[in-house]
Amino acid sequence: MHGHIGDSLSLNPFGPLTLIAAMLFVVGIHNRFPALAKRLQSRPVVGAFIGIWVAVWIIRLQVARQ
């Protein structure tokens, strides 16, 4: 959060998503919109996030080897 967006995204592409999720948690979005919270916690959504996270991790490992 120092304004170096390019460097930040290259190190952690999930940084903006994490920041948004933290802000929504702080404002209590899960209490205001329980249906949305239930959808975001569904098996397909969680599986997609885990799959993308693992893919990014593998790609970063391959890039680091070169």
**What pLDDT is attached to residue 47?**
93
In contact, 48 and 42? CB cutoff 8 Å: no
pLDDT of residue 61: 84
What pLDDT sits at residue 1? 58
Q: Which helix (H) or strand (E) holds 13?
A: none
What is this structure's pTM? 0.60
Residuewise pLDDT in 10s, the chain (66 residues)? 577 777 777 777 777 887 888 888 888 877 888 888 888 889 998 899 889 888 988 888 888 787
